[in-house]
A and B are shown apart, each in its own frame.
Chain A
Amino acid sequence: MMHEAKSFVVDGLMAEGSEGVRLCASSCGGCGSVYFPRTVSCRNPDCSSTSLEEKLLEGRGILYSYTIQRYQPPNLFRIDNWEPYALGLVDLPEGIRVMGMLSGFDLDNIRIGETVKLISECLFTDPDRGKVMTYKFAPEITGRDAQ
């Protein structure tokens, strides 16, 4: 049924498998640099390799910084039920720092250095595309439960 349909906000940005959502990245066959989103060439000036492989990133990392969007961004950003939300910057073990929306945080109590995991959430529902999903970073609950 149409309302059960689901799509990603941009083709090729993320993928969803049996183990959950992943970021679609490229990995250089020469120097091992990882690029997100996928790219056409390694840009490390010390590397001359032309081989890039597709790689999926698990997206578990450390929150490097964050901010809270207090005003609704312009219309290109489509979201149902807008309210202020957090954006985070996350260090992934692959050596890249990725920006994305945060989910599941108390906006007044976000802590730099916290472990986060990748999830996907619906931004808006569209009659043609169904639930349109984007990636977000959420608190790593396991770590908190252990405390």
Chain B
Amino acid sequence: MKPVYVLGVGAHPWGKWPNKPQVALAVEALQAAFMDAGIGWPQVEGMVAASSRFEGGMGWGLHANEVVQTVSEQGIPCINVGGACAAGVIAFHTAWAMIASGQHDAVAVVGAERMPKGFIPRPPGSQDDISDSDYLRWVAMGATNPAYWALEAQRRFHEYGTTPETLALAAVQMRSNAAGNPYARYREPLTVAEVLASPMVSDPLHLLQICPVSDGAAALVLGSERFLAHVDRDPVQVAGCAVGSGQFGDPARRIPTIANNVLPGVAHTSEVVGAVSRALKMAGMGPRDVDILEMADNSAWHLLAWPELFGIVEPGQSDWMLARGRYARDGDLALNPGGGFLSFGEATTAQAVLQLCELTWQLRGEAEGRQVAGAKVGLSAVLGLGANGGSVVLKR
């Protein structure tokens, strides 16, 4: 395989953008990434988009086609990949493979999203019967997404003695990280007392410990060695890159299922743990080589659990790490130094692309207002519906 580099990154700030269609957010993010890479449309040899089910893509998830038909009809391959909240990393993986295989020298990746208000509705065409878990979980027990994360958090309280204060501190840390990040939607500082005073949604998760939804877009350009001559800065290289799906016997409470087979020895959240493990192996690294972890914090619980699942710290050690500032930007592991999903609100298909933009800015030393000093290795991790997992290792 040929080495692959991140040539340029760009994003549209997260928020609610009622006056910009999804495709406009996508185009703005791409233009920023092209400008950052110092290249233009004529050099782009392929477009990979994370397919959204909410807006754009002509209703068929054809978001890459929609972008080129909007901006530059130049005959390049347009590839649209599904993967729900993990679609962004699957798009990245696809673009990486297009270059690593030697087929192309520069490929763009985009994820752009405008989210519906409130609870995410079931997709049209779903079956109202026992074959659809997403139907069952609503009609038989009214299980919301936060309820799934809350069941995990409550179990953690039981197993490791995690306290409400520590769980609140995870949300406080994310806000503190986001304070200087112009792309984050929620930047006002929070205190533990404020988190605990926010409404209880699904015990033990309070409102401020659950990621909301936002609109946003992120893009990047990947390229081969041939394009490095265009870039006058230290290149960020894709050291490892993997996607995967779930293992039978995984004990994680997987949305939207209502039951799972639990077998001993199977990793929790196996789709993500498996992808992380293979991405690190490809990079020739171990979990403790990671300086920055950009991970999907759909809830405050995830921030405690995932670094342990990846082997970066021991099971149950996250509480201690967090309380002592070891997950802060100047700690042993910088955990979501840009603020994470809790400070952005999830723009589903764009989120995993943004993670890789953030790692690139950090590794280049360009993460103004949130820079992790001297970071050399960044790891991303994301989970999507359908037991999709993905992970990328970037290095400087």
Contact = CB atoms under 8 A, between A and B. Distances in A.
A87 interface: yes
B308 interface: no
B248 A43 contact: yes
Among A9, A43, A66, find the residue whose CB has the most chain B CB atoms closer than 10 A: A66
Nearest to B128: A10
B271 to A, nearest CB: 14
Contacts of B139: 9-10, 76-78
Interface in B144-158: 144, 147, 150-152, 154-155, 158
B71 interface: no
Interface in A103-143: 112, 134-135
B199 interface: yes
B73 to A, nearest CB: 41
Interface stretch (B11-19, B40-48, B52-60, B255-263): B255-263
Q: Give the interface size bracket for B toward A.
A: 35 or more
Interface string A31-59: 00111111000011100000000000000
Contact of A96 (B147, B150, B154, B259): B259
A100 B263 CA distance: 20
29 contacts: A10-B136, A35-B261, A36-B259, A37-B259, A64-B155, A65-B151, A65-B154, A66-B151, A67-B147, A67-B203, A68-B200, A69-B142, A69-B147, A69-B202, A73-B142, A73-B144, A87-B142, A89-B155, A89-B253, A91-B262, A95-B262, A96-B260, A96-B262, A97-B253, A99-B143, A99-B253, A100-B140, A112-B158, A135-B140
Interface of A: 9-13, 33-38, 43-45, 64-74, 76-79, 87, 89, 91, 95-101, 112, 134-135
Interface of B: 118-119, 122, 129-130, 135-144, 147, 150-152, 154-155, 158, 199-205, 248, 251, 253, 258-263
